[in-house]
Structure 1
Amino acid sequence: FRRTVPAASTPVQRHLREHDWPGNVRELAHFAERFVLGLEGVAEMPSPAAMESDAAMPLPERLDHYEAEIIRETLGRNDGDVRRTIEALGIPRKTFYDKLQRHGIVRSDFSR
Structure 2
Amino acid sequence: MEWRITLAAIFAAVAIVGAMETIYQIYQVTVIDAAARGLKHPKLWGMLAANGNNSSGLLLYLIGRRKYPRNAIDIKQLQLMDKKKKAAGIGLVFLAVGAIGLVVCLARVGL
- TM-score, normalised by the number of residues in structure 2: 0.31
Q: Which has the higher helix share?
A: 2
Larger Rg: 2
Query: Which of the pair has the greater relative contact order for Cα pairs under 8 Å at 6+ separation?
Result: 2
- TM-score, normalised by the number of residues in structure 1: 0.31
